[in-house]
Amino acid sequence: MNNPNKNEHHYDKVPLLNIGVVSRMTGISMANLRAWERRYNFPIAKRTEGGHRLYSEYDVYQLKWVKEKILSGMQTASAINLFRHQEQINQIDDTEAEYQQEIIIHEGKKYSLASIKTRLIDALVSKNIATANELLGNALSVYTPEDIILEVIGPAMAAIGEKWEKKQINVAIEHLVTNYLRQRLMMWMLSSPPSRSMKPVLLTCAPQEWHEGSLLILGTLLRRKRFPIAYLGQAVPLSDLSSFINEIKPVLVVIVAMGEDSARGLSDLPKHISNFGEAGKPIIGFGGRIFVTKPEFRMIVPGVYLGDTFTEGLNKIEQILNASIG
């Protein structure tokens, strides 16, 4: 297991990831990433023709390894030197799960995003709101809201939905948990920094789609990146969506569908949105669980498939928005 040559098979060394993506993946600020490269020549990022940094999957692996050592009490320079030394003598542990489930020690207690998620679900299902508040409060002292949204809130919403479908919890408990998590997301959305000066991203659920958790998560993450949004939420008829688009002229429309019926309804988009697909018209992006579990549904929806995960969707949206503003 302790063989860095093995890492080269697991982690791509092609530089494709920009500094913002790497910052989100590692939890290391962009300022620190630049400072580490300047002070320690670590990692050595490639550059685009325009001078922007690009990182590989293997760079991300190195950064996560070093971050773990820093969080356990080691100085940055020492952690980087240790990585280089152990890599040289073939002693780097390449167990990827260790870094996906990293444990943070804070005030004598151990927290990992996976354990926080599990404990949060248990607390909410037990109707223990005080414990849930304490868990998230402790987590926020260590992790960013983005970390918690992607690794705790999102998975917790999915897990609660699954428990309800399997009749392991009743409707009252499902509503309690869902509304608690929605309130957290709304709080982070409303406390986000001022929006950039640009046309908004329109966020809506497909007709007949009442599950808005993933849409709300996406909206919160976009607002925290200072993108303006117009959030419509659940089950918006296509005729009403069309008139709204004509009024606010968004740069991008994001539509979420979780089930088969709501996905099929999106095939009628061109009938309702005037001049659909013409240059200068808003791009239509779509996503949701049904497109992951049954990829064939992607073919019936006109527009851009945003990806299987929140991270993929967010990256795709950023690419579209950055291209639209030059």
Give the model's pLDDT for residue 181: 93
Domains in the chain, please, with CATH?
A: 4-100 (1.10.1660.10), 103-190 (1.10.1240.10), 201-324 (3.40.50.280)
Regions of the chain with pLDDT less than 50: 1-9, 94-108
Q: Considering just the CA atoms, what is the radius of gyration of the chain in Å?
A: 21
How many CB atoms lie under 10 A from the CB of residue 16?
A: 11
Instruction: Give the residue from 50, 31, 23 showing the smallest Cα distance to 224.
Output: 23
Say how many CA atoms lie within 13 Å of 247 toward its Cβ: 8
CA dihedral sign, ordered 10, 14, 16, 19 = positive
Residue 255 corresponds to which tokens in the numbers above?
Answer: 């539509």
Residue pLDDT, tens place only, 146-197: 888 888 898 898 888 888 888 898 999 999 999 999 999 988 888 888 888 8
What is the structure's pLDDT at 2?
36
Q: Which pLDDT belongs to residue 274?
A: 61
Q: Look at the chain and count its residues.
A: 326
| Residues with Cβ within 8 Å of residue 217, at least 6 apart in sequence | 149, 150, 153, 154, 157, 185, 310
Question: Residue with structure tokens 């929006």?
Answer: 195
pLDDT number for residue 11:
65
pLDDT tens digits, one per residue of 235-274: 888 888 888 888 888 989 999 999 899 899 888 887 777 6
- Is residue 89 classed as helix, strand or coil in its secondary structure? coil
Residues in contact with 106: Cβ distance below 8 Å, sequence separation at least 6, in sequence order: 138, 141, 142
pLDDT for residue 267: 84
d(C-alpha 69, C-alpha 78), whole Å: 9
Q: How high is the pLDDT of residue 218?
A: 92
pTM greater than 0.75: no
> Are the C-beta atoms of residues 253 and 282 closer than 8 Å to each other?
yes
Residue 279 phi/psi, 5-degree rounding, is -60, 140
Q: Token pair of 293, please?
A: 């579990």
Residue 23 has a pLDDT of: 87
